[in-house]
Amino acid sequence: MQHVCILGSTGSIGCSTLDVIARNPEKYSVDVLTANTNAEKLFEQCVLVKPKLVVLVDSEQALKFQRQLDKSDLDIIVKSGSKALVEAVKFSGIDTVVAAIVGAAGLLPTLSAVQQGHKVLLANKEALVMSGDLFMQAVKDNGATLLPVDSEHNAIFQCLPESDNANLTSLSGVRKILLTGSGGPFRLLPLEQLKNVTPEQACAHPNWSMGKKISVDSATMMNKGLELIEACFLFNVALEQIDIVVHPQSVVHSMVSFADGSVLAQMGKPDMRTPIAHTLAWPERIESGVEPLDFYQMTDLTFEAPDYERFPCLQLAAKAMQTGGTAPCILNAANEVAVAAFLQKQIEFTDIAKVIELTIEQIEVTEANSLACVLSADRNAREVAQALILKGIEKR
């Protein structure tokens, strides 16, 4: 029996995780759930899985949750605040942590899970992008097992040679990693219309159903940029060893190309329950509720090169990785601020990349060799990005 803590249980990945676990009740006990503000959904989840501890970061929502709990016969410890989040992964008996918080808010609790030496199922790519080397060093130092939930990285993990799966480092015979991405909802939109797309259009992904932030990231392809950085750190490969391949059908979730000409691909329906089930059960396999592909019904599978003019965020991310140090952290923070502003209709879609670019230009990159450096770069970038948005993005 694995004892599971889900950080961010009320989100898209959190809900999919609970769905997979519900199909395998004899294997998993969900002991800890956490959420930011959604007390209602968290309570519904508690009725079903009866955890021992919940953390609601928002204190008012935690009170609301407690009042509802008092009227029920559930016996659950309720905590609030971001410190409680970092403590949640240390709850007695927990061995598996699903890192499914969105954005930089996930860094400290996810790192805390790594420091406990847990099995960590990583969906929260921003945490790794921010703190790359520090994060991977913590995995090593604490004997944690880091398993990628992000579908592309999970696919790569599945395609890598068996012997490498244990540590994700030495890539013998691997020529390239081929990181696939759908190109999002605006792959074919006439370029001049990009400026006027709405948050609703940006969040309507053709293949995947996801939280709002990652949906916008998919529309700008910053998601692929973040994933490029994520892959460099996870698999300890240089930027030049990864090619981005646009594959609009989202059937192939990524590939690994080998020295002898072989290319291995992992395929499946675009449903996050597959990589979640894979990481939960690894190295075994369990039911996920996802139907297999029907090859008799499958339409064309197509592949093409990414359009760097349409998706400037791809270049920005590659450049940040090349620069190293705190550059990926600055990129990530500026992106989070810009995406939030776009969702609130404060800036246009095409301003997202501009905010990021201008933020990066204004901040000095330093070594990212301590958590303090990383957190300070994150804070700094947020302030600069916010100020740029307030004063109106320079029109180019």
Where along the sequence are the contacts to Mg ion (CB under 5 A)?
A: 150-152
In the block, tokens 């039911």 appear at 287
Give me the least distance between CB of 304 and ligand NAD, in Å please.
22
Partner whose binding site includes residue 254, from Mg ion, ligand NAD, none (CB under 5 to 8 Å by kind):
none
Amino acid letter, 348: E
Give me the least distance between CB of 212 and ligand NAD, in Å please.
6
Partner whose binding site includes residue 112, from Mg ion, ligand NAD, none (CB under 5 to 8 Å by kind):
none
What CA–CA distance (Å, rounded) separates 130 from 120? 17
Give me the least distance between CB of 153 and Mg ion, in Å please.
7
Partner whose binding site includes residue 123, from ligand NAD, Mg ion, none (CB under 5 to 8 Å by kind):
ligand NAD
Q: Using the minimum distance from each CB to ligand NAD, give the nearer residue, 112 or 358.
A: 112
What CA–CA distance (Å, rounded) separates 157 from 215? 23
Give me the least distance between CB of 166 and ligand NAD, in Å please.
23
Partner whose binding site includes residue 312, from Mg ion, ligand NAD, none (CB under 5 to 8 Å by kind):
none
**Helices 327-343 and 125-141: angle between axes, nearest 10 degrees:** 150
Dihedral sign of CA atoms 339, 340, 341, 345 in order: positive
Nearest partner of 329 among 355, 369, 357, 368, judged by Cα: 368
Give me the least distance between CB of 150 and Mg ion, in Å please.
4
Q: Using the minimum distance from each CB to ligand NAD, give the nearer residue, 127 or 139.
A: 127
Give me the least distance between CB of 130 and ligand NAD, in Å please.
11
Q: Using the minimum distance from each CB to ligand NAD, give the nearer residue, 102 or 280.
A: 102
**Helices 39-49 and 59-70: angle between axes, nearest 10 degrees:** 40
Q: 245 by DSSP, 3-state: which?
A: strand
Q: Using the minimum distance from each CB to ligand NAD, give the nearer residue, 15 or 245.
A: 15
Q: Using the minimum distance from each CB to Mg ion, give the nearer residue, 149 or 341.
A: 149
Nearest partner of 35 among 89, 100, 124, judged by Cα: 100
Amino acid letter, 51: P
Instruction: Measure CA of the first residue to CA of the last residue in the chain; give whole Å.
Output: 57
**Helices 327-343 and 222-235: angle between axes, nearest 10 degrees:** 150
Give me the least distance between CB of 270 and ligand NAD, in Å please.
9
Partner whose binding site includes residue 148, from Mg ion, ligand NAD, none (CB under 5 to 8 Å by kind):
none
Cα-based angle 167, 171, 173 (whole degrees, multiple of 5):
145
Amino acid letter, 38: N
Q: Using the minimum distance from each CB to Mg ion, give the nearer residue, 39 or 128.
A: 128
Does residue 246 contact residue 183 with C-beta atoms inside 8 Å?
A: yes
Q: Using the minimum distance from each CB to ligand NAD, give the nearer residue, 125 or 278.
A: 125
Partner whose binding site includes residue 46, from Mg ion, ligand NAD, none (CB under 5 to 8 Å by kind):
none
Residues of this chain that bind ligand NAD (CB under 6 A) = 8-14, 35-36, 38, 57, 85, 100-102, 105, 123-126, 150, 208, 210-211, 213-214, 272
